[in-house]
Chains A and B, each alone.
Chain A
Amino acid sequence: QKEVEQNSGPLSVPEGAIASLNCTYSDRGSQSFFWYRQYSGKSPELIMFIYSNGDKEDGRFTAQLNKASQYVSLLIRDSQPSDSATYLCAVNMGGNNRLAFGKGNQVVVIP
């Protein structure tokens, strides 16, 4: 079982719609969860972090965490063409404080 899984294929959404991304993780003891955005040819950029069960909102982004189900999600409201990127889910594995990443989900916002 992979430490962090993002199974959805590329996601195409019309401009103004909601993009929904999901991520599951294997280590029940994980405490910190992150979403990074990565534009093609660039490095990952932190857009959200969440530590507690429930929702966390920051502008058009909402992160949701359910530790019992070992599930993290990201919602992008009012999607814009500039949101077109790959979104990486990362989980802090504790111990040596390393981040385990999913493979990423590509989002394409269609004008």
Chain B
Amino acid sequence: ETGVTQSPTHLIKTRGQQVTLRCSSQSGHNTVSWYQQALGQGPQFIFQYYREEENGRGNFPPRFSGLQFPNYSSELNVNALELDDSALYLCASSLVGTRRETQYFGPGTRLLVL
């Protein structure tokens, strides 16, 4: 157990809808990164939040957005869902300022878009 929690565990949406995924970071960690993992692929970096601000973004469109709260928990929002958004969404927490900033993953949210 990494101490990183995510909700919900599973979600089914239809194309065009919006979804919000939530993540609570490990105690003592101040940074949350979000990844998308399609079936049979490695995780792809979506973005990272540090001190409630976006601290880097991968190659994802603006309809993917996020928030970080003062308690370091985070949300990932996806608007106008597309079929290709079906994937496992992972959040990882880490502590900026520690050596190499190792990231620990939560259990993930599996999203299916119909």
Taking beta carbons and an 8 Å cutoff, which residues of A are in contact with B? 4, 31-32, 34, 36, 42-46, 49, 51, 88, 90, 92, 95-104
The listed residue (A97, A100, A104) touching B101 by CB distance below 8 A is: A97
Looking at the complex, which one of B40, B42, B56, B106 makes contact with A97 (CB distance below 8 Å)?
A: B56
Least Cβ–Cβ distance between A97 and chain B, in angstroms: 6
Q: Is the CB of A42 within 8 A of B107?
A: yes
A-B contact count, CB below 8 Å?
Answer: 69
For B105, the chain A residues whose CB sits under 8 A away are: 36, 43-46
Chain B residues within 8 Å of A, Cβ to Cβ = 2, 31, 33, 35, 40-45, 48, 55-58, 88, 90, 92, 94, 96, 99-108
Can you name 13 A-B pairs with beta carbons within 8 Å?
A: A32-B100, A34-B103, A43-B88, A43-B107, A44-B90, A46-B102, A97-B31, A98-B48, A98-B58, A99-B45, A99-B103, A101-B42, A101-B43
CA distance A35 to B65 in the complex (A): 28
Asked whether B100 lies within 8 Å of A49 as measured between CB atoms, the reply is yes
Task: Please state if B42 and A4 are interface contacts (CB–CB under 8 Å).
Answer: yes
Specify which chain B residues have a CB less than 8 angstroms from the CB of A102 in the assembled complex: 42
CB contact under 8 A between A31 and B58, given known A43-B107, A99-B45, A103-B41: no
| One of A4, A46, A90 near B104 (C-beta < 8 A) | A46
CB <8 Å contact, B106 and A34? no
The verdict on A34 contacting B56 (CB below 8 Å), with A99-B33, A103-B42 known, is no
For A49, the chain B residues whose CB sits under 8 A away are 100, 102
B48, A97: Cβ atoms closer than 8 Å: yes
Q: What is the chain A residue whose CB lies nearest that of B102?
A: A49
| Alpha-carbon distance A103/B107, docked complex (angstroms) | 19
Tell which of B40, B48, B107 touches A96, judged by Cβ atoms closer than 8 Å. B48
Given A31-B100, A32-B100, does the pair A98, B90 have CB atoms closer than 8 Å? no
